[in-house]
Amino acid sequence: MCRCRSRGLNYMLMQRKKIIILLVSAACGAVIGAVGTRFRGHVPNIPAFRPDDALLVHRRLLLAAAAGWVLMSAYWDIAAKSVSKAKKSESRGSRFFHVFLTNAALLLEIAPIRGSGRFLPVSVAIMSAGLAIEAGGLLIAVWSRRHLGRNWSGEITIKDEHALVQTGPYRWLRHPIYTGILVMYLGVVLVTGEWLAIAGLLVVMFAYWRKIRLEEKNLNVAFGEEYNAYRRDTWALVPGVF
């Protein structure tokens, strides 16, 4: 099997694992909550990770939030089959660290457990707004992915015949896929409304801050002054902010 197919297979397996994690997170949260509550009864001053019963009342909205990530993973799996071969990639350790952080962040956000309390009330209106924001982020990510085409990779890479894409959202943003993904995480924060979700959002923000630094260093080496000029005329994630 050639190197590019091997990497594509590894990526697809990684995405399927993410889907499985999403589907079992609700059950895991309930188990952790039950164990935490019992453990707290024997050892004082240890906070319990309890199931968030108020959130589980609206389990359909919670499942809709998980479905957004399943849809994105499915699309990414399909689109990954048509990418160009990489001639330079980040280390496996670096990639694993990023995937670990993003998956851990999503579990913190979406698992229906009440570890540190809520910062938002359980409200159908707020949860629906979160779902709308998540859907908007998904659309941004897919739009950006389509413009990136064969140059895309889950890893930080330089492709054979790599082009510096400056069409679609890349006219204004250097990393619009990451913008869309972070917006999806923000939407889930509003859906669940837990302080643990805020912790998850901070984790994923660090993960993509780190990835952007590594990726821009890589692109600067590959494209030199062309990339520096592009960087001066664009924003990393949010126009006018960053």
**pLDDT given at position 89:** 67
**pLDDT given at position 180:** 97
Domains of the chain are 3-232 (1.20.120.1630)
**pLDDT given at position 29:** 45
233 within 8 A of 166, measured Cβ to Cβ: no
Label residues 153-170 b or e (16+ Cβ within 10 Å = b). bbbbbbbeebeebeeebb
Q: What is the pLDDT along the chain (242 residues), one digit of tens a residue?
A: 344 444 444 445 455 555 545 544 444 444 444 444 444 444 444 445 677 888 888 889 999 999 999 999 888 888 777 665 656 666 888 889 999 999 999 999 998 887 778 899 999 999 999 999 999 999 999 999 888 877 666 666 665 556 788 889 999 999 999 999 999 999 999 999 999 999 999 999 999 999 999 989 888 888 888 889 999 999 999 998 88
Distance CA 158, CA 205 (A): 24
Distance CA 30, CA 114 (A): 10
Number of C-alpha atoms within 13 angstroms, CB side, residue 40?
13
**pLDDT given at position 86:** 57
